[in-house]
Amino acid sequence: MKKLTKRIGSVAVTAGAVMSMLLTGATSASAADSSIALSSSTPNYSCGTQTTWWSNSVHLTFQCDGNLVLYRNSDGHAMWASGTYRSPTPNTLDFSHLGWIELDSATYGCKIGSWPNQAPEGRAVVQDDGNFVIYNTSGVATWSSGTYNNQQGKVDECYS
């Protein structure tokens, strides 16, 4: 009975991990990279919904203070941030089909990866190499957090 309980628990954990990857847009069962489509079918996210995307080395999270932050998994260090924790606080995260990421409130908006580098119908990827990148449909990077190989990126993207 004890072995059966362990097996059932292991299956439940594995099923939960697979479901989590499917919900977050992970591209493979290894969860090395987490990919989010820049499409009209990708939902807008708000604080309190599924707002964290993981790779093996970093994770991107939309915090309830309105800041979009890329954290290093090993020590929780903020490698890159939108800097949108200021008032008015964005309450919506939109992976826009126009090819950028937008943080919005009723009176404020910040576009990351916008003109002239937008990637209509592309994808945003939280990569296992530590970088957060927007790719166009041809697979060409149009914007990056600059955090490849553990490098420190901007922590005030929308204000610098």
- pLDDT tens string 104-113: 987 888 899 8
pLDDT over 80 at 94, yes or no: yes
Is the peptide bond between 88 and the residue preceding it cis, with omega within 30 degrees of 0? Answer: yes
**Per-residue pLDDT, 129:** 95
- Sketch out the chain's domains with CATH numbers: 2-159 (2.90.10.10)
**Per-residue pLDDT, 31:** 52
DSSP 8-state symbol, 160: -
Tell me what the pLDDT averaged over the chain comes to: 80
**Per-residue pLDDT, 152:** 94
Q: Which long-range contacts (CB under 8 A, 24 or more apart) does 118-125 make?
A: 118/142, 119/38, 119/143, 120/38, 121/37, 121/38, 121/39, 121/97, 122/38, 123/35, 123/36, 123/37, 123/38, 124/35, 124/36, 124/38, 124/95, 125/33, 125/34, 125/35, 125/36
State the average pLDDT over residues 55-60: 96
Which of 10-14, 57-61, 80-84, 136-140 is predicted least confidently?
10-14
**Per-residue pLDDT, 30:** 38
- pLDDT tens string 117-153: 789 999 999 999 999 999 999 999 999 999 999 899 9
Copy the structure tokens of residue 63. 């915090």
- pTM here is 0.76
Q: Give the residue carrying structure tokens 């479901």.
A: 19
pLDDT over 70 at 160, yes or no: no
Contact 125, 69 (CB under 8 A): no
- pLDDT tens string 1-27: 444 344 334 333 333 333 333 333 333
Contact 126, 52 (CB under 8 A): no
